[in-house]
Structure 1
Amino acid sequence: MGNKCKVLHIVFGQSTLGSLKLSLRELGIENEEKVLCFSDIFSVGPIWKLHDEVGLKQRLDWFRTRFISEDDYFKVDYEKDFIKTKGIVCNAPEETPIFLWAGDNSHEQTGVRYVLYLLKKKRNNIILINTTKAYHEQFNSSDIVYSPINTGGISPEKLRSIYEKNKAKTPISTEDRKKLYLEWELLAEAQDVLRIWENGEVHCVDEDFYDQFIIKKAQKLHIHQKYRDFMKSARLVGEVIGHLEQYLGDEFIEYRVRHLINTGTFEIEGVPKAMRFYSIKLRS
């Protein structure tokens, strides 16, 4: 982390990383407070024993065989990035305060539980900033209510305001830390590959949980056509993502679209080597 690092911030996703770095720069503390990012989506893919090498291998294999990445991220950089980030977390000096940034979604909340498991034997002060709650308290009014689906949906200016109001927040208690890392242990014993946030908890659901939702969105898009015709798969994926109340990422939705092609629900035109290369329509 560097000798000058006085505070470590841990976030989940490149969008949040960029916004928080900008916020710290505007506060003039970017050289003292470092931001560490897990470039992952913890709501999807297996997390069985992810704290061990065998679990990371299973997760990597799952992504490589199911997700399409034009830049070959899962083949080239994912494992290296994950191991590096995990190592920095595990080796953080115990005198360094750690801020965990997470909204009310299964991606970030699963990530929080994972990090607290990695830190279960460390004595760092850990401050959890619930960005969903903080956003509602600071920016929503009676006539304007907006709920960012994840921390990456919050502007740098508002993240800066949230940090200024929460930086003196009391660290998580020993009891709450234990509760959360024990929840990780339960999640990491399951073989599920899809998780949602419901009633304040992470819940495992079947892989096909959103398949009918995808089909309904395709039906809606077809209604707006003069006649049922092919549409770019990216158009459908965007429609689904735009109406989801969960944060899953477009790779998972596109993977399920390709599954529905394989089962005969959709017809395909083009080659599914990337979303922009093929179109789909519901089979008549």
Structure 2
Amino acid sequence: MKHLIFGNAAASCLKYAFLKQNHQIISFPIDFSVGPITNIHQPGGIKVHFAWKASCFQEVQNFHADQSDYQEALEQLAEIKDGDQLTIWTCENASEQIGLRIICYLLSGKDVELRIVNTTNAMQEYMKGKGIEVIILSTGGCNAKQLIHFYNHSYSYITKEMRQAFEQEGEELLKHVSLVRSWKQGEIIDELETRDDALILEYIKSVEQEGGEETFINAARVVGGVLTESDQFFSDSWIEYRIRSLIQSGYLRYVGSLQAMRMYRVKTA
């Protein structure tokens, strides 16, 4: 079995889950929900995407390694042969839903068996009757035991009609010029780059009300708070980038150094 999965955290957990089994994990270390994705299956589009990330996300990350790993995943995808069995892992978020569609487009014309595991739905079924509600925003929120259970019990087959629809949507997505995309009511929606700014400001104001008007709040705390309150999945690097953008546009003041989120604090202007 070959597995196609999106995001470093989810891929690491899946590799651990199948450590002793002869499964191939093809992981795409990328967040398709932010940044340019036009022709992101081709060298030019890949270069543009990772150059954008390197210019916007200043937290310590190895963009060159991610770019190399992503290109390797595309090469592994191209080597898939007729008759191969594939499981695509996805979740109810823009990145993984976009990944699902782009992958199906890139597999066009190959006679392969496609299974899908939607980890949001799988988790709901897994926790049913246990008296605990667990809501995950990404496959990276699952542990290895859960992933193995989902693989054995929570998959479905992608029908010919579903595959055709995914392929068409994937082809269109590779033409999108937006920088931000959300997953709302089962659809991928293009958004403005400022999508999350109001949520960030609202969170900062709520903390200020608790601590006083002169309160400066650690940027890392803001990032964590916004991630907790949002119903969308996005990375801490994305939120930190938007905090710095709000500083640049005059909506926020800061003290400290903007070199890393742990080194500065913010308050509303």
Give me the TM-score of the superposition, normalised by structure 1.
Answer: 0.90
RMSD: 1.6
Q: Which residue of 2 aligns with 1:195?
A: 181
2:87 is equivalent to residue 99 of structure 1: yes
Distance 2:16 2:65 in 1: 24
Whether 2:22 is the aligned partner of 1:24: answer: no
- Structure 1 residue 180: deviation in Å? 0.6
Alignment partner, residue 10 of structure 1? 4
* Residues 218-257 of structure 1 mapped to structure 2, 5 A cutoff: 218-257=204-243
Task: Verify the 8 A CA contact 1:23 1:159 in the aligned structure 2.
Answer: yes
Deviation at 1:252, TM superposition (A): 0.9
Match of 1:4 in 2: none
Deviation at 1:226, TM superposition (A): 4.3
Question: CA–CA distance in 2 between the matches of 1:142 and 1:152?
Answer: 22
Specify the code of the residue in structure 2 equivalent to 1:87: E
Distance in 2, matches of 1:126 and 1:259, equals 41
Partner of 1:66: 56
Q: After the TM superposition, which residues 33-72 of structure 1 pair with which residues of structure 2 at under 5 Å, given as runs?
A: 33-71=23-61
Q: State the match for 1:3 in structure 2.
A: none
Q: Distance in 1 between matches of 2:37 and 2:128?
A: 34
CA distance in 1, matches of 2:176, 2:5: 24
SS for the counterpart of 1:60 is: helix
Question: Percentage identity across aligned positions?
Answer: 28
Corresponding residue for residue 129 of structure 1: 117
> Where in structure 1 are there 5+ consecutive unaligned residues?
1-6
What's the CA shift string for 1:41-74, capped at 9, x where partnerless?
Answer: 1111111121222211221221121111314x12
- Equivalent residue for 1:182, pick from 160, 163, 168: 168
Q: Which range moved further: 253-262 or 112-121?
A: 112-121
- Paired residue secondary structure (2:211): coil
Q: Does 1:209 align with 2:195?
A: yes
Q: Does the 8 Å contact 1:140/1:146 carry over to 2?
A: no
Contact 2:59 2:261 in 1 (8 A): no
Structure 1 stretch 99-108 or stretch 186-195: which is displaced more? 186-195
**Structure 1 range deviating more: 13-22 or 191-200:** 13-22
8 Å CA contact retained: 1:222, 1:228: yes
